[in-house]
Amino acid sequence: MAEALRVGIAGLGTVGASVVRSLSAKSAELSRQCGREIAVAAVSARDRSRDRGIDLGNTQWFDDPAELARSGDIDVFVELIGGDDGPARKSVRTALEAGRHVVTANKALLSKHGVALAEIAERKGVLLNYEAAVAGGIPIIKTMREALAGNTVSRVFGIMNGTCNYILTRMEAEGLTFDACLKEAQRLGYAEADPTFDIEGHDTAHKLSILTSLAFGCRISAADVYMEGISNITQADIRAAATLGYRIKLLGVAQKTESGIEQRVHPTMVPTASVIAQVHGVTNAVAIETDILGELLLSGPGAGGAATASAVIGDIADIAKSRPGFQHGPVFGWPARELAPYKRARMRTHAGGYFIRLTVHDRAGVFAAIAKRMADNDISLESIVQHGDALEIESQKTVVLVTHETTEAAVRKAVDGITRDGHLVDKPQVIRIERAG
Enzyme catalytic residues: 207
Sole binder of ligand HSE in the list 163, 209, 283, 429 (CB under 6 A): 163
- Give min distance, CB of 253 to ligand HSE, in A: 17
- Give min distance, CB of 192 to ligand HSE, in A: 4
Nearest CA among 225, 154, 212 for reference residue 340: 212
Give the contact letters, 203-242, x = binds to ligand HSE (CB under 6 A), - = no. x---------------------------------------
As a whole number of angstroms, the distance between CA 250 and CA 270 comes to 10
Choice between 8 and 158, CB closer to ligand HSE: 158
Choice between 91 and 163, CB closer to ligand HSE: 163
| Site residues (CB under 6 A) for ligand HSE, limited to 346-375 | none
Sole binder of ligand HSE in the list 136, 158, 300, 353 (CB under 6 A): 136
Q: What is the CA radius of gyration of the chain?
A: 24
As a whole number of angstroms, the distance between CA 7 and CA 288 comes to 33
For position 130 contacting ligand HSE by CB under 6 A, the verdict is: no
CB 391 within 8 A of CB 398: yes
Q: How many other C-beta atoms lie within 10 A of the C-beta of residue 431?
A: 21
Choice between 302 and 352, CB closer to ligand HSE: 302
Q: How many other C-beta atoms lie within 10 A of the C-beta of residue 410?
A: 18
- Give min distance, CB of 203 to ligand HSE, in A: 5
- Give min distance, CB of 133 to ligand HSE, in A: 8
Total interface residues for ligand HSE by CB under 6 A: 11
For position 289 contacting ligand HSE by CB under 6 A, the verdict is: no
Which residues fall within 8 angstroms of residue 16, CB to CB, at 6 or more apart?
Answer: 9, 10, 43, 45, 78, 80
Sole binder of ligand HSE in the list 65, 162, 201, 229 (CB under 6 A): 162
Beta strands 38-44 and 101-104 are unpaired
- Give min distance, CB of 303 to ligand HSE, in A: 4
Beta strands 246-257 and 260-271 are antiparallel
- Give min distance, CB of 296 to ligand HSE, in A: 21
Sole binder of ligand HSE in the list 302, 305, 352, 353 (CB under 6 A): 302
What is the H or E stretch that residue 104 is in?
Answer: strand 101-104
**Residue count of the chain:** 437
For position 191 contacting ligand HSE by CB under 6 A, the verdict is: yes
Sole binder of ligand HSE in the list 190, 246, 332, 354 (CB under 6 A): 190
Nearest CA among 8, 6, 29, 172 for reference residue 78: 8
Choice between 164 and 358, CB closer to ligand HSE: 164
Q: Which alpha helices (H) appear in 45-177, and where do they start and end?
A: 65-70, 86-97, 107-124, 140-142, 162-174
Choice between 160 and 244, CB closer to ligand HSE: 160
As a whole number of angstroms, the distance between CA 286 and CA 185 comes to 21
Beta strands 101-104 and 128-129 are parallel
Per CB under 6 A, residues contacting ligand HSE are 136, 161-163, 190-192, 198, 203, 302-303
